[in-house]
Amino acid sequence: MSIDIVLSILEMVEKEDLDPHSGKLFAYVYETGDENIRKIAQKALQMFGEKNLLDFTVFKSAVFFEKEVVGFAKNLMHGDVSTVGSYTFGGTESIMLAVKAARDYYRKREGKAVVPEILAPVTIHPAFLKAADYLGLKVIRMPIKEAKADVDAFAENISEKTALIALSAPNWPFGTIDPVEEIAEIALEKNVLLHVDACLGGFILPFFEMLGEKIPLFDFRVEGVSSISLDVHKYGYAPKGASVVLFKNPELKKCSMYVDVSSPGYVFVNQAVLSSRPEGPLAASFAVVKYLGVDGYKELAAKVLSARDKIYRGMKNLGFESVGKVESSVLSLYNEDLDLMGFINNIKKFGWQLHLQKGLKDFNIPDNIHLALSPVHESVAEKFIRDAERAIEMKPEVDSKQIFALAEKGKFADIIKGIEEGRIDSSVIPMLLEAIPEEMAVELIKNVVIEWFR
């Protein structure tokens, strides 16, 4: 094909997507509205996109960039001279390295006879379950209290099998920060590693604190925290994928690495899960971090706080309440007088993309909507509230009664077709699957995905 034809196909396909810069998404992208960030990031991606992080002795720029980005993250998390880290392509990869480090550290001490366990609240990110599945660990999911990890449950369940405690700052579903200080005391007493998943909060909570927000301690200032993950491609505003995992000391990082010296080809050294990786995202992370600096990040954090306050106040006036305490960049809102499926499908007509989360009945948490706020939302907050009010007043074309009626009749094909056509929001899937045994639900989803990409 000619260049023009290929470019025209790209333009045609792009029209199927929502505009990531519009401020109408509340997940997946973290938009600042600053064109200079995009400009400098794209230039870095282009300059270093063909260089390979696999061999940093050939592309020595990778060493420079990684030391700079990891160093910035280390300072944010109050690391000391012993703190080391690795650059990864996303939070899941960072978490996998933390889990591998915990597993190998545990094996050095206890041997391989026992399956190591991870203690984590039900709100922990699924990446920990994925890592455990890949690496042969078992996750014990703990109850929550007021949308945070229940300290007493950890004290009761920690055992000689526990290789790692995993907490969130904040958790994704509700935006609440787990009681890291209290649970770290338990971990210290039992000599168990503790990882803080700050993928969402690591690049914004420190700036909230600098702006005067009261943020519970969660970083290396807490004795007992052994590793932390934080994503540069979230509130660091770098392109995907960019994350950092920090370890309290070099011994833990060594447990996260993979090295092979037996191959006849070359010495195989991986600091991350992936081997060949383009250097572009790392260079772009460096460029954005240097462009913004602490003062730039503080300005953007102030915009997020302003957006949060405007939207939370406006939604409260419309009858919504918060699940748990509002203390991060996430709002998790419920309205027991409103059909949330219908509301989400209505507001989608105005271009807004929200996410519906199923409630946790065992912990008195109702169905709710999830909003991860970015700086760009500060300028569109009032419009969002106006459209939310209109969406409440509209009679929905699709609501929970219709969806569950289809599900009861076994008409999942009709539901999937509705999702593909955009008439039904995909966020209804978790609620539909709740009534199906987990293994059956997993198999169903796998079948749907295979058909989608066939």
Q: How many domains does the chain fold into?
A: 2
Residue span of the structural domain in which 249 resides? 42-289
Look at 186 and 454; give whichever has higher pLDDT. 186
In terms of phi and psi (left: phi > 0; alpha: psi -120 to 50; beta: otherwise), the region of 221 is alpha
Q: Looking at the domain assignment, is residue 186 inside a domain?
A: yes
Q: Looking at the domain assignment, is residue 163 inside a domain?
A: yes
Residues 212, 279 within the same domain: yes
Q: Looking at the domain assignment, is residue 431 inside a domain?
A: yes
Residues 208, 231 within the same domain: yes
* Of 241, 270, 289, the domain-final residue: 289
DSSP state of 227: E
Q: For residue 129, what pLDDT band results from cuts at 50, 70 and 90? A: very high
- CA 422, CA 76: separation in Å to the nearest integer? 41
Residues 155, 245 within the same domain: yes
Q: Looking at the domain assignment, is residue 31 inside a domain?
A: no
Instruction: Give me the half-sphere count of Cα atoms (radius 13 Å) on the Cβ side of residue 354.
Output: 27
Q: For residue 328, what pLDDT band results from cuts at 50, 70 and 90? A: very high
Residues 357, 378 within the same domain: yes
Residues 152, 236 within the same domain: yes
Q: Looking at the domain assignment, is residue 30 inside a domain?
A: no
Residues 248, 304 within the same domain: no
Tell me what percent of the residues of the chain surpass a pLDDT of 70.
91
In terms of phi and psi (left: phi > 0; alpha: psi -120 to 50; beta: otherwise), the region of 147 is left
What does the pLDDT look like over 27-81, one tens digit per residue? 889 999 999 999 999 999 999 999 998 888 888 999 999 999 999 999 999 999 9
- 361 burial type by CB count under 10 A (0-12 exposed, 13-18 middle, 19+ buried): exposed
Q: Looking at the domain assignment, is residue 24 inside a domain?
A: no
- CA 132, CA 142: separation in Å to the nearest integer? 16
| Closest to 240 in 3D by CA, of 398, 33, 388, 89 | 89
103-107, 159-163, 269-273, range with the lowest pLDDT = 269-273
Does the pLDDT at position 435 exceed 60?
no
Residues 278, 411 within the same domain: no
Cα-Cα-Cα-Cα dihedral sign, residues 27, 33, 39, 44: negative
Residues 213, 99 within the same domain: yes
Does the pLDDT at position 228 exceed 90?
yes
* Full DSSP string of 163-220: EEEEEESS-TTT-PPP-HHHHHHHHHHHT-EEEEE-TTTTTTHHHHHHTT------ST
Q: Read off the CATH number of the domain in which 424 is found.
A: 3.90.1150.10
Q: For residue 335, what pLDDT band results from cuts at 50, 70 and 90? A: very high
Residues 220, 340 within the same domain: no
Q: Check: CB of residue 333 under 8 Å from CB of residue 323.
A: yes
Residues 146, 268 within the same domain: yes
Structure token pair of residue 168: 């969130």
* Of 249, 265, 289, the domain-final residue: 289
Q: Looking at the domain assignment, is residue 276 inside a domain?
A: yes
Residues 369, 223 within the same domain: no
Average pLDDT of the chain is: 91
Residues 175, 222 within the same domain: yes
Q: Looking at the domain assignment, is residue 316 inside a domain?
A: yes
Q: Read off the CATH number of the domain in which 89 is found.
A: 3.40.640.10
Q: Which residues pair with 197 in a beta bridge?
A: 168, 229
* Of 270, 289, 308, the domain-final residue: 289
